[in-house]
Structure 1
Amino acid sequence: MYITITAQKIDGNYAQSSADFVSYLEKENEGKIMEEQEHFFNQYGDEISAEQVINEIDGNTAKLKKSEPKFYSITLNPSARELRAIQDSPEALKRYTREAMKQYAKAFHRDIDGRSVSVNDIKYYAKVERQRTFKGTDKEIRENQPYATRILELKQQIRGIASGEKSGNIKLLHKEIQRLEKEAPHQLGGKRIIRGMVKPGHQSHVHIIVSRKDASNRFSLSPGSKHKASEVELHGKTVKRGFDRDTFFKNSEKTFDDLFKYKRNYVETYAARKTFLKDPKKYFSMISGLPTNERAFAYKLLSKTGVPIPKIPVNTVQLTYKAINRIKKGIGKAIESGSIGI
């Protein structure tokens, strides 16, 4: 499970309305009949309209400055293996989202009216998306790019010839384009993979838009806080502040496992990813210490991301700085594309 939390921005500035973001989340519903559309939901309701989401989020911004984010976006990105475990069920993802948002509330080091923050204090709306499209950061797009560039050049030549500005054989240029289209290394359904093309397989994930202010519109609840847990004096009172992302990520992961009886391998854990980024040698050492079956499965999962895997026991491997960076880049690209399989 790969989870992200981001403050929504437009052209470097914090968005003053959620309208553009909500419109973006509605893109999958275009052209679909009502029965096939995915609707917004929250902790207690389903089939919430986009208009209601915009009104509720935009109307819950009391005393926030223009320089402060009005809302945050959380994405829950299950791996292909996790989606198979729940049979790619939208209802299962909704159930999980509601439980994960309880963990989100618990991660705040805040008091509201003398009690800890609960999910009832969180104003959020979520939406299941069933598709992903290829982006410029994806391996398929990057490796197809030389072919795309050459094809564009040839099409420009054809337009120049057709307009009389250039001379040449249009028929031969069309044949060259056809050859390049077929020779591009990454194809889908007999066509060269391009940006915006829908990815195959299970791609379901959840987008959540959550208000910066609590449901009463009185307290600021920022998951972007630099503090995990601290206390400050404000108007003569001691006020708690902070949000613990590590706790949220780890507890959300455990929630998925408990809900669906999912047996998570070490390399699928948030703790493992964090260890890898800090100390790659320790990461592979941990894998080498797993029981035989779990270790073999760990390497199998990693290989699906395109990450280069050591071929000999890790305790005898001297991972060079260059090799470590190559592995980091492999995992990083997989995560960016939303296609990481672990």
Structure 2
Amino acid sequence: MYITITAQKLGGNYSQGSADFVDYLEKENQGLDPEDKEYFFNQYGDRISAEEVVREIDANTAKLEKTEPRFYSITISPSKYELNRLKNNSEDLKKYTREVMKDYVASFNRELNGRPVNIDDIKYYAKIEDQRFFKGTDTQVRENQPFAAKILQLKSDIQKVERGEQPGNIAQMKREISKLEKATPHKQDGQRIVQGMAKEGNQSHIHIIVSRKDASNKYSLSPGSKYKASKVELNGKIVKRGFDRDKFFGKAEKTFDKNFGYQRNFVETYTARKEFIKNPRSYFSNLMKLPTSEKAIAMKMLKETGMPMMPNIPTNKAQLALKVFNRLRRGVDIAVKSSSIGI
């Protein structure tokens, strides 16, 4: 489960409206008949139009400064293993979203009118998307890039030869392109993977737009707070503040596992991914302690994510060289960003 929380920006500034972001989320509906479209939904309603989402989010911004975000975007991306546990893809993801937003409000260290924040206090809209596209940061695209660069140069040279701008053997250059295409390490359906190509398989994920202000338009609820839990004096009153992302991400995993009977492997957990970055020595030590069957599944999952791996993981801790871990940490930083782990 990969989750990110992002304050939406337009260039270097926070967007003053939600229309551009909502339009982006409508991209899969382009050209579809009304009955075939995927609509927005929230805790209590389905088939909510994009126009209603924009209207409601943009009207819920009382007393916010231009330097403050009007809304946040939460992206929830289940893995293919998690998606395989679903029986009804769309309905199950809607059910999960409604449960995970309860986890979201429970992660605020805030009180409104003397009580904890609850699900009725937030204004959010969610949408399921079924497609994902390869990004430039994806391992497959990065490792294909040297081949892509040579192919592009050869195609450019062919055009120059055809225009009489330089000499060359076009047939030979085309044969070289064919060899490079065959030698490219990552393909999908026989085609070289490039940035912007749609990913095969079940790619369903959830986009959520949640207002910075609560449903009453009086209180600010920021999941981007740098505080997990603290208190501050405001207008003579002691006010709680903060949002615990670790708590939210952990609860989101447990909610999925409980609802769909999912047996989560060690390497799939948010805690393990965070440990990989902060303490790789401990991470690999715990990985090696897994039962043989679980360890085999873990290795398969790591390979599929493109996470850099050592050819053979040493069992002796003294063999875990610092330079190897530094390389792994740099590599996983890229994997984290491209996979939207959201630490």
Q: Does 1:203 align with 2:193?
A: no
Cα distance in 1, alignment partners of residues 218 and 98 from structure 2: 23
Name the TM-score, length of structure 1 as normaliser: 0.91
Cα deviation per residue 1:32-66 (whole Å; 9 max; x = unaligned)?
33333221111111111111111111111110011
Segments of 5+ residues of structure 1 without an aligned counterpart are none
Match of 2:221 in 1: 221
Tell me how far 1:156 sits from its aligned partner: 3.0
Tell me how far 1:316 sits from its aligned partner: 4.0
Cα distance in 2, alignment partners of residues 268 and 194 from structure 1: 27
Match of 1:301 in 2: 301
Matches within 5 A, 1:276-315: 276-306=276-306, 307-309=308-310, 311=312, 314-315=315-316
Tell me how far 1:88 sits from its aligned partner: 7.1
Matches within 5 A, 1:34-113: 34-87=34-87, 89-113=89-113
Cα deviation per residue 1:189-240 (whole Å; 9 max; x = unaligned)?
2222221111112211111111100011110000011111111111111111
Cα distance in 1, alignment partners of residues 340 and 214 from structure 2: 33
Name the TM-score, length of structure 2 as normaliser: 0.91
Match of 2:5 in 1: 5
In the alignment, residue 287 of structure 2 is paired with which amino acid? I
Measured at CA, do residues 289 and 168 of structure 1 come closer, stay the same or move farther in structure 2, by a change above 3 Å?
closer
Retained in 1: the 8 A contact 2:277–2:332?
A: no
Tell me how far 1:187 sits from its aligned partner: 2.0
Cα distance in 2, alignment partners of residues 145 and 295 from structure 1: 32
Matches within 5 A, 1:1-342: 1-87=1-87, 89-163=89-163, 165-168=165-168, 170=170, 172-306=172-306, 307-309=308-310, 311=312, 314-316=315-317, 318-338=319-339
Tell me how far 1:152 sits from its aligned partner: 2.6
- SS of equivalent to 1:304: helix
In the alignment, residue 211 of structure 1 is paired with which amino acid? S
Retained in 1: the 8 A contact 2:4–2:340?
A: no
Retained in 1: the 8 A contact 2:275–2:282?
A: yes
Segments of 5+ residues of structure 2 without an aligned counterpart are none
Task: Tell me which moved more, 172-181 or 30-39.
Answer: 172-181
Task: Tell me which moved more, 318-327 or 192-201.
Answer: 318-327
Tell me how far 1:286 sits from its aligned partner: 1.9
In the alignment, residue 309 of structure 2 is paired with which amino acid? P
Measured at CA, do residues 13 and 195 of structure 1 come closer, stay the same or move farther in structure 2, by a change above 3 Å?
same
Cα deviation per residue 1:224-261 (whole Å; 9 max; x = unaligned)?
11111111111111111111111111111111111111
Tell me how far 1:20 sits from its aligned partner: 1.1
Cα distance in 2, alignment partners of residues 60 and 294 from structure 1: 47
- SS of equivalent to 2:305: coil
| RMSD between aligned residues | 2.3
